[in-house]
Amino acid sequence: MDFSWTDEQRQLRETITRFGEKELNTHLRQLDREKAFNLAGWKKCGEIGIHGLPIPKQYGGGGADVLTTICALEGLGRGCRDHGLIFSINAHLWGCEIPILTFGTEEQKATYLPKLCAAEFIGGHAMTEPDSGSDAYSLKTTAERRGDRYLLNGRKLFVTNAPLADVMVVFASIDRRKGAYGVTGFLVDKNAPGLSVGPQSEKMGLRTSPMSEIILENCEVPVERRLGKEGAGVAIFGHSMEWERSCILASAVGAMERQLESCIRYARQRQQFGQPIGKFQSVANKIVDMKIRLETARSLLYQAGWLKTIGRSAFMEAAMAKLYISECWVQSCLDAIQIHGAYGYMTESEVERELRDALGSRLYSGTSEIQRQIIAQFMGL
């Protein structure tokens, strides 16, 4: 496995890092406090091609392979400190664009992908329900076919981008007696009759990423907006999760690199007892551990991306990357606060916000416990 970047990939990463630093980091404390989505930043990201990175050029995307996409997203995480914006972009990419690309009809691809890639449309993904989270396929939302349309009934929770979404991939069961094999995907437009969106959720972190409940009450979805065949929901959701777990924390690796550099600078500059605090072994050891976490996390990330790039299954490796990077990110954020002391605890430093944003990574796209369960199953346990 050769994970050395080409000059073109390296330049792409550096370009996106500089773009993030320059364009996406203004008024972050205010945006976080007001749980405000950076729509201007969203559109700027679309203009430079972030939203369409892995989508073929014929549908308005960049045609990048998986490793190149990971490289770019790592650069975005290094330059952009607005993790909510990045999280919304990831939900848009892996929860909406990739399912349409892989399972959509040519008409569906032509209708949605160019606008999603250009950031003219905002995409969402609705699977979780009040009684089904980790046990995803036990959902209660139903879809009943009536002539040339389906009627969807149910509730979906924690839907990222829902308050602003133009289209969402929504999962419902056509026959609950079939269990997981009754689950089917649908493309639900924001103006679909019977769709309503609840108030924006209050969250500990990722506050700049809008999230809410959606309610489906005899929500009308034309048959031509069914995604894939009836009962294909398991394949669609599983495929989406492999992509998501392989790529969603690429930005976290970039953030960990930026965080490490910031801690090194602070440890060199901050003086206590007549010397820089980095000279104290207890501080230096934390920074060393941050470096080790960064490099091992990066290796797992690249391994999952490499497997997908060469067309091999990466389901276990994606789970390993998701589990390890999320746990490393949280621990490094804790260490960064400890290194900065009281300053790290203050909102002005923005160090504490990194921790609040990082904590969610152990929950979304499958909790750490679910990732361990997946890995154990691949090991025959």
User: Residue 186 is inside which H or E element, if any?
Assistant: strand 183-189
**Residue 84 · residue 110 · CB < 8 Å:** no
Q: Is 244 marked active-site? A: yes
Q: How far is CA 318 from CA 20, 30, 33, 215, in A?
A: 26, 34, 33, 31
d(C-alpha 150, C-alpha 112), whole Å: 20
d(C-alpha 267, C-alpha 257), whole Å: 15
| Strand stretches in 118-166, DSSP E | 123-126, 142-146, 149-160
Question: Quick one: tokens of 343?
Answer: 């300053």
Question: Quick one: tokens of 258?
Answer: 């930026």
Residue 14 one-letter amino acid: E
Which of the following is catalytic: 244, 257, 317, 354? Answer: 244
**Residue 371 · residue 322 · CB < 8 Å:** yes
What are the backbone dihedrals phi and psi of residue 141, each rounded to the nearest 5 degrees, phi first?
-65, 135
Between the two ends of the chain, the Cα-to-Cα distance in Å is: 28
d(C-alpha 374, C-alpha 221), whole Å: 33
d(C-alpha 154, C-alpha 180), whole Å: 16
User: Residue 355 is inside which H or E element, if any?
Assistant: helix 351-359
What residues are labeled active site? 244
